[in-house]
Structure 1
């Protein structure tokens, strides 16, 4: 059976278009410094590591919070503020401070050149479980549609968010390719929804073999993705 040529590409964001771990680490430093000034009782009682551990414990108790990581952070702060006897009116500003720093991302070097070339040939979209703001980051104009789990109400690997992304771009799942770094959330999730899935494996390794996952393609860079797409279009 001939392969359907792609009509649209959908991208994950964090760790696909930019590295996220250093950004979150810096955002948590910024937040904790802000807490030390505006909610010192919280900062004294809970270190960054303490707050992180409490969030993970909270998520274990309330797994439904995974759909909105900013809300998870808010609920964690609400608990910390209550335990420290701090004024909860500061929480809104604390979340705002964190999100500003969280959106101070630096795209990988290959991203901006590749998006310009890809947009000339395909409709582009994004699907993320995170709370990156493409408008604030300055990349929104590259994409025709963007879905985020907190607003959509379901998170990857739920097939519904992939299907909604395809619908937003006006293509059938079989005519869409999803590109992401996470084998479970991105590759398995997209394939189960009927999309082709490219594992963007920027750091090497054979995790897909260990997990028994078979991406439609494995690329280390977006330039390699372009090469694969070109080959797919000429088959």
Structure 2
């Protein structure tokens, strides 16, 4: 088997939990709107703004590539609907962006990345809008690709292959680690990478989905053990 030279990580729900962060960021944004765009906050609840975004996404599925662009478009539509000044939408987005990146990595992440960096080159591939500079983890990764900037999203093989090329490794020399069976595991495997399912919840969803990860890990400690075994082969 080809030696592992690089590891590529998904971000949201792989290196940190994201649902509670997004929920809090939406609360923070709505409070900001109540102060700076009161007609929007009075007319639409958080849930109503979310429902409008989902309806917009259904009409324009291309927004799947960039959920920040979707949120911006949703806010512009809400502002226009109530006659608020759309000039402050960008400020609202900056406020949300900061709150969205107030993530807390899982306990195993920081020590795990430090150890993995000693032997392997690290990178990230994400469909999300996390800002690794704001999160404070950018320095761990040689390459970071986001679908919104690259123009293609997981599970498209192109984004995995581009990350491997940027790292200077062949797909067979790279391992992708992520929490989503279809986007992460199947996507990476179809691009020729080995794929580890980061299953922090103990789910058996892979059995129902018919997906066969190269490994299943609950923590970066387990990932390091598996990687060590691959390096010894």
Give the TM interval when normalised to the shorter protein.
Answer: over 0.9
Task: Report the aligned-residue RMSD.
Answer: 0.6
Q: Aligned residue for 1:13?
A: 11
Q: TM-score, normalised by structure 1?
A: 0.98
Q: Aligned residue for 1:48?
A: 46
* Partner SS for 1:10: strand
Q: Aligned residue for 1:71?
A: 69
Tell me, in whole angstroms, the C-alpha distance in 1 between the residues paired with 2:208 and 2:216: 15
Q: What is the Cα deviation at residue 58 of structure 1? A: 0.9
- 1:116-170 Cα offsets, whole Å, 9 max, x none, are 0000000000001111111111101101110011111111111110001101100
2:174 to 171, 176, 183: 176
Is 2:21 aligned against 1:23? yes
Q: Aligned residue for 2:32?
A: 34
Tell me, in whole angstroms, the C-alpha distance in 1 between the residues paired with 2:82 and 2:181: 39
Q: How does 1:1-235 map to 2 (within 5 A)?
A: 3-235=1-233
Tell me, in whole angstroms, the C-alpha distance in 2 between the residues paired with 1:39 and 1:204: 43
Tell me, in whole angstroms, the C-alpha distance in 2 between the residues paired with 1:55 and 1:159: 28
Gaps of 5+ in 2: none
Runs of 4+ aligned residues of structure 1 deviating over 3 Å after TM superposition are none
Gaps of 5+ in 1: none
Q: How many residues align?
A: 233
Q: What is the Cα deviation at residue 204 of structure 1? A: 0.8
Q: What is the Cα deviation at residue 179 of structure 1? A: 0.2
